[in-house]
Structure 1
Amino acid sequence: MARRRTKPTGFSRKERLSAFTVYVVAGIGALIGAILLGVSLLKPTAFEGLRGGATDVVEPAGQVSSVTRSGGRSIFQNIAAYYRAGSKNAELEEEVRIARVRLAEARALEQENKRLKAMLRIVDGDADPVATARLIGSTSSSVRRIAFLSAGSRDGVKVGMPVRTPRGLVGRVLGVGGSSARVLLLTDPESTVPVRRSTDEVIAFAEGRADGTVQLRLINLGVNPLKEGDVFVTSGTGGLYRPNVAVAVVSELTRDGAIGRLLANPAATDFVLVEPEWQPAAREAISEAVARREGPVPADGGE
């Protein structure tokens, strides 16, 4: 069998000429590269001018690329910062709300400490109280004005004992249980307290009006000497309430006295002191004398 002849790759003359040209150019390029490499190794500073020129040529394009990168980075940083700021603001607002709650609690504790310190000053300066307790409730729908105390007979509380705060008198014990007691407030219509004006000896009775105020009825009728702003304190008459405990301040004048606003508001009172009777022997003597003459005396020492 005859052998098949393989056709050469460069069949035409043009193709053979093109391949030869490529080889020649590649050889010349390799030779030039070798020469330049040799020169750069023997004399490194020989092409410094060319390198500088090339750098100058590409420098504007490098600046544009750098600005573009910086701008893009800034945009992404701003977007990230915006979202971080939103979450940060939410956290700060929550912290502010918590701080406000803590501040309110701290102020409440501060006010309670002030009230307790005021009570301690009372205890230090006067007779020892029978008990310190909270006012835990009061009547709201009845014409009677009665509060409830978180102390009772087990704490030494007895019927008739005065109840007060650092600001003044609140009332007297009306009934006693084992661990609680009822307090007849000064504003109850059945409450009558002997009082006097704090600056002199103008005597009166403070009678409850069931509306949060008391009626100050003068003993000696005639020209009304009272004026708005006068402060009335307990007189000590009757032996139940010790003298000089604040009761009320005049807010409105009447024909036979004045209307008084209580200095110790039970609605704004937390802690109270239960005190012993001022002069129990004198009160018992007065009660016996009045009972022999016309019947029992009121429990609060009124005449």
Structure 2
Amino acid sequence: MAASGSKRPGFSRRARFGLFVGYVVAITGALIGLGLVLIAIFDPQGFASIRGATADVTAPVSASGRSAVQSGGRIDNYVANWWNAGQQNAELRAELRVARRRLIQARATELENSRLRALVGLLEGQSEPIATARLVNSSLTSARRTATLFAGRDRGVLPGQPVRAADGLVGRIIDSGNSASRVLLLTDRSNIVPVKLARDGTPAFTSGRGDGRVEVHSLEAGRRPFREGDILITSGTGGIYPPNIPVAVILDVFGDSALAAPFANPGSLDFAIVQPVYEPPENESTTNPDGAANPRESGSDSPETP
């Protein structure tokens, strides 16, 4: 018959030793706890000393653990702040782009409004303009210097009418369609404009060079009336262009001729004004520069036969 198993925890010496140690630790802990209770009851000062000594031993360990916990918390905060900073930077960059676009739009609107205000101020006290319209393009490389005006016969624009801007003279209409017209610019070689010096009224005329500049020639032979920086304005002689419109400023002087730069740059203009063809007063149109009556204007085409 087989022997029945033992009811003890085990036959191993290690198991018996572990069980014994567990009993010893439990009993020792109970005795220490009982002793601490008795000391706390019968000797409070001694128990306070024991508590102080325990605090002295456990304080460094507690401080180290707290530092480790705080360091871990700071690392978490650093990571969270870094992540939040990245998101905030992206949001700020997006807001900056939107603000920059709005600023550009505001500046463009302000510039356009200032030019329109200048045009409105320019028209005050003058004859009623034919039309105010946009210059949509201008030629830079072709043989002729022209620009396209977004106004045509539907608004009363016809060939021969002068075109100006707030800065100065632009040119004159040479072709007009139903809704758009072609402007012969001041800098075209075939465009000759009677002008005078704003300084003293010396008469002259300009002709385009085809390169964005104009040549100025004096009508008084043998004189050198031009100076660098002189301002040229329309004289109104011969009609078409009204008088006193700014035309150009003189850059270089060559004897009785000069090189000048127009005030109005078609490449940077937004709006232009089409004005009626200027008709000089009758006394101006019937008198030649020497003060004598023009026989054609006075009604006689040929000298009388004695």
Shorter-chain TM range is: 0.7 to 0.9
The aligned counterpart of 1:275 is 275
Letter aligned with residue 174 of structure 1 = I
Which amino acid letter does the alignment assign opposite residue 175 of structure 1?
Answer: D
1:188 Cα deviation after fit: 1.1
Is the Cα contact below 8 Å between 2:218 and 2:225 reproduced in 1? no
How far apart are residue 76 of structure 1 and its match? Answer: 3.0
Task: Please give the per-residue CA displacement for 1:65-115, whole angstroms capped at 9, x wherever unaligned.
Answer: 111112222233223333433343333334333333332222222211111
Q: Could you say what secondary structure the match of 1:159 adopts?
A: coil
* Residues 241 and 43 (structure 1), Cα distance of their counterparts in 2 relative to 1, 3 Å cut: farther
2:111 counterpart residue number: 111
Q: Which runs of 5 or more residues in structure 1 are unaligned? A: 11-18, 294-303
- The one-letter amino acid of 1:143's match is A
Partner residue of 1:202? 202
Question: What's 1:297 paired with?
Answer: none
Contact map agreement 2:36 2:47 (CA 8 A) in 1: no
Compare the two structures and name the one with the higher helix fraction.
Answer: 1
Contact (CA 8 Å) 2:225, 2:256: kept in 1 or not? Answer: no
CA contact 1:249–1:261 (8 Å) conserved in 2: yes
**TM-score, reference length from structure 2:** 0.78
Separation (CA, whole Å) in 1 of partners of 2:176 and 2:278: 19
What is the Cα-based RMSD across aligned positions, in Å? 3.7
Unaligned regions of 5+ residues in structure 2, if any? 10-18, 287-294, 302-306
Aligned match of 2:59? 59
Which residue of 1 is the match for residue 146 of structure 2? 146
* Farther-moved stretch of structure 1 (21-30 vs 217-226): 21-30
Shift of 1:260: 1.2
1:125 aligned counterpart, secondary structure: coil
Contact 2:226–2:256 (Cα < 8 Å) also in 1: no
Kindly report which structure 2 residues correspond to 1:95-106, keeping only aligned pairs within 5 A, or say none: 95-106=95-106
Aligned residue for 1:223, secondary structure, equals coil
What residue number does 2:292 align with?
none
CA contact (8 A) 1:238 1:282 kept: no
Q: Give the deviation of 1:23 after TM superposition.
A: 8.1
Distance 1:39 1:203, change over 3 A: same
Once the two structures are aligned, what percentage of the paired residues are identical?
41
| TM-score, with length taken from structure 1 | 0.79
Contact 2:237/2:280 (8 A) holds in 1: no
Using the alignment, how far apart are the partners of 2:24 and 2:223 within structure 1?
140
1:89 lines up with 2:89 in the alignment: yes
Aligned length: 283
**1:298 counterpart residue number:** none
Give me the whole-angstrom Cα distance separating, in 1, the residues matched to 2:296 and 2:28.
146
Provide closer, same or farther for how the CA distance between residues 34 and 251 of structure 1 changes in structure 2, counting only shifts above 3 A. Answer: same
The residue matched to 2:182 in structure 1 has which SS?
Answer: strand
* Between 133-142 and 183-192, the greater mean CA deviation after superposition: 133-142
Deviation at 1:21, TM superposition (A): 12
Tell me, in whole angstroms, the C-alpha distance in 2 between the residues paired with 1:155 and 1:107.
30
Letter in structure 1 aligned against 2:54 = A
Offset, 1:119: 0.5
Structure 1 counterpart of 2:231? 231
Comparing 41-50 and 186-195, the one that deviates more? 41-50
The CA distance in 2 between the partners of 1:167 and 1:125, in whole Å, is 17
Query: Counterpart of 2:124 in 1: which secondary structure?
Result: helix
Q: How big is the shift at 1:263? A: 0.6
- 1:50 aligns with 50
Cα contact 2:238–2:280 (8 A) shared by 1? no
The one-letter amino acid of 2:211's match is D
Cα drift, residue 5 of structure 1: 9.6
Deviation at 1:217, TM superposition (A): 1.1
The amino acid that maps onto 1:147 is A
Asked if 1 retains the 8 angstrom alpha-carbon contact of 2:250 and 2:261, the reply is yes
Shift of 1:193: 1.0
Secondary structure of 1:247's match? strand
